[in-house]
Amino acid sequence: MAGMAEQPLPLGYNTYCLRALRWNDAQLLEFAAAHKLDAIFLQDSLDPRAMEPAHWQEVREMARRLGLHLETGGGGILPKREEDFEQSIATLRRHIERAAAMGSPFVRCVLASERAAFPVRVERAMEWAVKILRAVRPELSGRGVKAIIEVHKDLQAWELREVVEAAGKDLVGVYLDTGNPVFVLEHPMTTLETLAPYVESAHLRDSVIYEHPRGVAVQWVPLGEGVIDFRAFVKRLGELCPRVHVYNKPITGRPPAVIPYLEQDFWKMFPAARAAELAKFLDLARKGRPYEGRMVIEDIPGRPIPEPFRAAIQHQQRDHVERGLEYAKKELNLGRRWRETA
């Protein structure tokens, strides 16, 4: 449609960011509607009926009634062992069914939590991912759903591009997350420009990145409070990916992580790293410094939130989502629906 590219990109939020509140899917959709958002990305649902087909239809109808574009999907698709391939494929097929029933055009996929977590060497893990994604092509095509692989702490952009192209870009794309490339020493703008032809969903997460005696330290912070130039990023995103929905996705409350790139053993995981891309990333670290805002650090992956901190983390997650949405609307010119009553 003429003029569509000039419209602000539609804005939503990623529900994983409110996980400490343990809301059901209806409450998460109502939150999006109350903030006059255009979309919701339902990720890692905690709803007790999350895998019930009747519930999927209810969520689809509620999203339609609230005027929300909905995207969703599953989690990791790689098995721990090669003999578990069939189970991984069956799980992905179930998530394709769920996504389609909810009205999502995509099904989210993740390869690994981080590069070191691959069950086999990186090149072999990429081959496994391609094999699994090719195995579900009939289901993707039959249900009109596209698999989107999240940019995670595992592959660099050029590696993920190879997976998408080998799996078949007609049915496989990319879920761009700006918070994860920094963990593989990559500038988010490099990620965007490398993967733009395949990006179907864009999630914004800010980071502080700064020099450390072992390399660099990284910490996720509320949108607009880190070192990433999101004005430039969103401008480029609009130029390269004018049809994506953009989601605010702060994951805060975690301590800084050290990436020890100055230690020789670190590079065993990156035998084909590209010097020019590393230099662009390190320029961010030279400009950065530790986060100086207030933050409760008690949202540690794999560890339950201590009860004395629970209320604080719940408040913080909601506050950081809402601060990020305000920044996205007023500073990044994102979103359409909120303008109708502004």
Can you tell me the distance from the alpha carbon of 18 to that of 23, in angstroms, rounded to the nearest whole number? 8
Tokens standing for 316? Answer: 């913080």
Q: Bridge partners of 284?
A: none
How many Cα atoms within 13 Å fall on the side-chain side of residue 295? 21
How many Cα atoms within 13 Å fall on the side-chain side of residue 47? 20
Q: Give me the pLDDT at residue 302, please.
A: 87
What b/e string do you get for 205-230 counting C-beta neighbours within 10 Å, with b at 16 or more?
Answer: bbbbbbebeebbbbbbbbbbbbbbeb
Please say whether the beta carbons of 184 and 231 come within 8 A: no
pLDDT at 170 over 60: yes
Range of the domain at 67: 7-206+228-252+321-341
Q: Give me the pLDDT at residue 254, please.
A: 96
Could you tell me if residue 144 is inside a domain? yes
Q: Give me the pLDDT at residue 113, please.
A: 95
Q: Give me the pLDDT at residue 1, please.
A: 33
Can you tell me the distance from the alpha carbon of 187 to that of 286, in angstroms, rounded to the nearest whole number? 13
Task: Give the tens place of pLDDT for each residue, 230-257.
Answer: 999 999 999 999 999 999 999 999 999 9
Task: Give the tens place of pLDDT for each residue, 173-231.
Answer: 999 999 999 999 999 999 999 999 999 999 999 999 999 999 999 999 999 999 999 99
Q: Are strands 257-259 and 39-42 parallel, antiparallel or unpaired?
A: unpaired
pTM: 0.96
pLDDT at 50 over 60: yes
Please say whether the beta carbons of 45 and 14 come within 8 A: no
pLDDT at 342 over 90: no
Specify the amino acid at residue 312. A
pLDDT at 275 over 50: yes
Say what percent of the chain tops pLDDT 90.
96
Could you tell me if residue 307 is inside a domain? no
Could you tell me if residue 159 is inside a domain? yes
Q: What is the CATH number of the domain that holds 70?
A: 3.20.20.150
pLDDT band (50, 70, 90) for residue 296: very high
pLDDT at 49 over 80: yes
Average the pLDDT over 123-147 and give the result: 98
Task: Give the tens place of pLDDT for each residue, 325-336.
Answer: 999 999 999 999
Task: Give the tens place of pLDDT for each residue, 34-44.
Answer: 999 999 999 99
pLDDT band (50, 70, 90) for residue 301: confident
pLDDT band (50, 70, 90) for residue 3: very low
Could you tell me if residue 18 is inside a domain? yes
Specify the amino acid at residue 208. V
* Conformational region of residue 11, where left means phi above 0, alpha means psi within -120 to 50, and beta covers everything else: beta
Q: How far apart are the first and last CA of the chain?
A: 25
Could you tell me if residue 332 is inside a domain? yes
Could you tell me if residue 44 is inside a domain? yes
Dihedral (Cα; 214, 216, 217, 218), 10-degree rounding: -150
Could you tell me if residue 287 is inside a domain? no
Could you tell me if residue 285 is inside a domain? no
pLDDT at 6 over 80: no
Helix ranges (DSSP H) in 168-268: 188-195, 230-240
Tokens standing for 19? Answer: 């996980």
C-alpha gyration radius of the chain: 19
pLDDT at 341 over 80: no
Q: How many structural domains does the chain have?
A: 1
Can you tell me the distance from the alpha carbon of 69 to that of 104, in angstroms, rounded to the nearest whole number? 8
